[in-house]
Structure 1
Amino acid sequence: MLLCGLAAALAACGEPAPRKTGGAGTARAGDRVTPVSAVPVGSGVLVDMPGNAQLLVVQPQSGEFRAFDPSCPHVGSLVNPPTGGVITCPLHGSTFDPATGAVRKGPATSGLVEVAVTRSGDDLVLS
């Protein structure tokens, strides 16, 4: 009886939401990524993309925008938006330069992969 109750409780919870992956997903060149106003100077935001993916969009200096696949090259967990001038992976502590994506401290041995974006009016779009 206890097992039946446990099975019913688990079934009621439903399926867990799929884990987001890094990158542009199914978006294509010219697709809108985010409004320019949503990306704070000196920081950044994780943006949901089609296909259950995310991009990390940063504005290291006023008017300078870059986007990165937020998958840490070490084991693939998603990094956090920059704080205090650094992008950090919460899993093992790798850090990356928010202006270039270059690795600053391992265990990652390579930087974040850049995804080309350009400004189009008040929006950033995939290039």
Structure 2
Amino acid sequence: MSSESLQPEPTLCRRSLLAALGAAGVAATLTACGSSDDSSSGSSGSSGSSGSSSSSGSSGGSSGEALAKTSDIPEGGGKVFADKGVVVTQPTAGEFKAYSTVCPHAKQRVNKVDNGVITCPAHGSQFSATDGGVKKGPATSGLTEEKIMVDGDSIMLM
């Protein structure tokens, strides 16, 4: 009966179970991150076939998603699409650029485009609407470029 009073196995099983659950959570997180990157790469690799299709029946995420009309983006300025995480600019007539709204300094979101400058409200970093480069810190690197396509008068997020 003294062997019944010493029961280290439930503690060991509990630890094993917690370790396994933790490992499974990490694996699930890595898989989710990996699949997101893979689908992005896949959509950009297959954008030739997706991009040439002009049907509006695409319900597959952001590939070919209509973002705005070209007339919505002022020349020399831009517009922030916070719900899509992208800012679209028109540096010169008919030239459209897109950047992530995530400021590389502190991962806050840019929220304004004015006079060719994209501004982050958190610490005052400013970026060029022409190339996304830093105009004023504290950010030390520019905004990440996003892929867009102009189809007629529509701007599509790829």
Q: Is the 8 A contact 1:80 1:89 kept in 2?
A: yes
- Residue correspondences, number: 99
Q: 1:126: how far off?
A: 2.3
Question: Structure 1: any 5+ residue segments left out of the alignment?
Answer: 1-25
Q: Which residue of 1 aligns with 2:123?
A: 92
Aligned counterpart for 1:75 among listed residues 106, 117, 125 = 106
**Cα deviations by residue, 1:41-67 (Å, 9 ceiling, x for unpaired):** 11111125xxx5321111111101011
Structure 1 or 2, whichever has the larger Rg, is 2
Which structure's relative contact order is higher, taking Cα pairs within 8 Å and 6+ residues apart? 1
Q: Is the 8 A contact 2:108 2:120 kept in 1?
A: yes
Q: Which residue of 1 aligns with 2:86?
A: 55
Q: Which residue of 2 aligns with 1:40?
A: 74
Q: Which residue of 1 aligns with 2:95?
A: 64
- Letter in structure 2 aligned against 1:36: T
Which 4+ runs in 1 deviate beyond 4 A?
none
Equivalent residue runs for 1:1-40 within 5 Å = 27-40=61-74
Using the size of structure 2 for normalisation, the TM-score is 0.58
Aligned counterpart for 1:120 among listed residues 126, 143, 151 = 151
- Letter in structure 1 aligned against 2:65: D
**Cα deviations by residue, 1:96-125 (Å, 9 ceiling, x for unpaired):** 111100112211111000101111011011
Question: Structure 2: any 5+ residue segments left out of the alignment?
Answer: 1-59
Q: Is the 8 A contact 1:39 1:58 kept in 2?
A: yes
Q: Is the 8 A contact 2:116 2:130 kept in 1?
A: no
RMSD: 1.7
